[in-house]
């Protein structure tokens, strides 16, 4: 079956007890045992919950893995992932990272002796060089946040495997509707379901999807041991969001296209970043690796911080808020919001300037979004 059909039906049969076509929200924290350790598959809801199991099964299938695991947040998923790496482990990571991911890596570096190298992996040859020293994990976002740079996932997976290292891809920006990293060679996919998968700014959640049964077993153990699990209600919301992911991603893409066309032509703009632009340095890779370009656009305004803040103030449809990937359009000033935890020098070295604004284009009428951006630029 095709992807949009699978979003709604894959691993999501009607409830066998009642025929309910949507999954019941099982609130029970514990389950009756007929004798000690004899049960019907569920023991305690941290270890497993039927509503969560439906979400995990669907995510695992949609990301082409052997299974998925749901967490209370994207960072909960990341913390559980890092729980598998003992002191002295080495991670080679992209340098353009979600701020909270960077903060957690740094925490593990200081507290638990994790070694982390941050590299610009837009050129996979840099990874080949970095892997001359053994590493335990390669960690990648593509497209990256907030600069929408791409990493050639197939090339990076090949290099990681050649040196017996696993590849993790944070697929939050693209979603499985546009890019399926495991099909390109990744071993683990990480999600913040808070963003596009949930899609309505009404839940915080995360997920891991595993390519191998061994990893699924290890991280299932850690999920239960660390306990960063989502509530059954949040699992239900994530599943509900998942059903419309296909149509939403197409609409987000149309909105982003309308917005970036206004930005790209404007003299007050130093640079508009969007993988769908023919001028994006990795546009060809985007066409090969993704089946759409997503809903995030970032723009570097010539006037620096003052221009960025004035632009934000003038927007009427876009709401100034952290987060992204929801039906309503959101706008963020990375330097003072989502990426404020990254020191300024480091931020600027990576291109996250004071004039950078990140737009998460929602599914309102694209013409209204284009008008909004046009009006906000006027008078800068």
Ligand X SMILES: *Cc1c(COP(=O)(O)O)cnc(C)c1O
CB of 100 to ligand X, least distance (A): 5
CB of 197 to ligand X, least distance (A): 10
Question: Does residue 171 belong to the site contacting ligand X (CB under 6 A)?
Answer: no
Selected from 80, 145, 201, 329, the binder of ligand X by CB under 6 A is: 145
CB of 3 to ligand X, least distance (A): 21
Residues 91-130 vs ligand X: string with x where CB under 6 A? -------x-xx-----------------------------
Measured from the CB atom, is 141 or 152 closer to ligand X? 141
In the complex, residue closest to ligand X by CB:
74
Spatial contact of 380 and 268, defined as CB atoms under 8 Å apart: yes
Selected from 194, 282, 298, 329, the binder of ligand X by CB under 6 A is: 194
Q: What gap in Å lies between CA 311 and CA 353, rounded to an integer?
A: 15
The one catalytic residue in 6, 11, 46, 305 is: 46
**How many other CB atoms are found less than 10 A from the CB of residue 1?**
9
The 8 Å CB, 24+ separation contacts for 221-224 are 222/80, 222/83, 222/84, 223/69, 223/71, 223/80, 224/46, 224/47
- Helices (DSSP H) in 63-152: which residue ranges? 74-82, 99-112, 125-130
Spatial contact of 51 and 26, defined as CB atoms under 8 Å apart: yes
- The question of whether 98 is a catalytic residue gets the answer yes
Measured from the CB atom, is 49 or 80 closer to ligand X? 80
CB of 298 to ligand X, least distance (A): 13
Selected from 141, 215, 332, 372, the binder of ligand X by CB under 6 A is: 141
Question: Does residue 179 belong to the site contacting ligand X (CB under 6 A)?
Answer: no
Q: What gap in Å lies between CA 315 and CA 45, rounded to an integer?
A: 44
Spatial contact of 296 and 280, defined as CB atoms under 8 Å apart: no
Task: Record the tokens describing residue 371, joined without a space.
Answer: 């008008």
The closest alpha carbon to 55, from 15, 92, 12, 96, belongs to: 12
The one catalytic residue in 95, 170, 187, 372 is: 170
- The question of whether 195 is a catalytic residue gets the answer yes
Spatial contact of 312 and 69, defined as CB atoms under 8 Å apart: no
Task: Give every CB contact of residue 124 below 8 A, 6+ residues apart in sequence.
Answer: 151, 152, 155, 156, 159
Q: What gap in Å lies between CA 28 and CA 156, rounded to an integer?
A: 43
The closest alpha carbon to 337, from 98, 150, 109, belongs to: 98
Give 37's DSSP letter.
T
Question: Does residue 75 belong to the site contacting ligand X (CB under 6 A)?
Answer: yes
Measured from the CB atom, is 131 or 144 closer to ligand X? 144
Measured from the CB atom, is 45 or 175 closer to ligand X? 175
Selected from 149, 195, 248, 333, the binder of ligand X by CB under 6 A is: 195
Residues 202-231 vs ligand X: string with x where CB under 6 A? --x-x-------------------------
Measured from the CB atom, is 103 or 268 closer to ligand X? 103
- The question of whether 32 is a catalytic residue gets the answer no
The one catalytic residue in 52, 95, 96, 98 is: 98
Measured from the CB atom, is 75 or 157 closer to ligand X? 75
CB of 90 to ligand X, least distance (A): 21
Give 32's DSSP letter.
-
Q: Give catalytic residues, as residue numbers.
A: 46, 98, 170, 195
Residues that bind ligand X (CB under 6 A): 73-75, 98, 100-101, 141, 145, 170, 172-173, 192, 194-195, 204, 206
């Amino acid at each position: 079956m095709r992807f949009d059909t699978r979003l709604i039906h894959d691993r999501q049969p009607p409830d066998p007890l009642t025929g309910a076509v949507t999954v019941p929200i099982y609130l029970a924290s514990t389950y009756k045992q007929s004798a000690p350790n004899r049960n019907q598959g569920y023991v305690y809801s941290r270890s497993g919950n039927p509503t969560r199991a439906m979400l995990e099964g669907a995510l695992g299938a949609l990301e082409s893995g052997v299974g998925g695991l749901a967490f209370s947040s994207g960072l909960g998923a990341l913390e559980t992932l890092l729980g598998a790496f003992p002191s002295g482990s080495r991670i080679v990571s992209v340098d353009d990272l979600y701020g909270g991911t960077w903060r957690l890596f740094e925490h593990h570096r200081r507290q638990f002796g994790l070694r982390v190298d941050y590299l610009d992996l837009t050129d996979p040859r840099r990874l080949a060089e970095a892997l001359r020293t053994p590493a335990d994990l390669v960690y990648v976002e593509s497209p990256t946040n907030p600069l929408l740079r791409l990493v050639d996932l197939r090339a990076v997976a090949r290099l990681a495997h050649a040196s017996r290292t696993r590849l993790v891809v944070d697929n939050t920006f693209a979603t499985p509707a546009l890019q399926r990293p495991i099909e390109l060679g990744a071993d683990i996919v990480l999600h913040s379901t808070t963003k596009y998968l949930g899609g309505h700014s009404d839940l915080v959640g995360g997920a891991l999807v595993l390519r191998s049964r061994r990893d699924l077993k290890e991280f299932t153990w850690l999920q239960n041991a660390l306990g960063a699990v989502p509530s059954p209600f949040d699992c239900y919301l994530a599943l509900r969001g998942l059903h419309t992911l296909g149509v939403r991603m197409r609409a987000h893409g149309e909105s982003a296209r309308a917005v970036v066309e206004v930005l790209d032509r404007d003299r007050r703009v130093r640079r508009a970043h969007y993988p769908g632009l023919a001028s994006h340095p990795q546009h060809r890779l985007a066409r090969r690796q993704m089946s759409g370009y997503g809903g995030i656009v970032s723009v570097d305004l010539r006037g620096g911080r003052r221009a960025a803040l004035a632009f934000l103030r003038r927007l009427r449809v876009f709401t100034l808020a952290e987060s992204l990937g929801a039906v309503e359009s959101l706008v963020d000033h990375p330097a003072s919001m989502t990426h404020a935890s990254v020191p300024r020098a480091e931020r600027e070295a990576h291109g996250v300037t004071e004039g950078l604004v990140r737009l998460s284009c929602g599914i309102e009428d694209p013409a209204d979004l284009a008008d909004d951006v046009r009006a906000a630029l006027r008078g800068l």
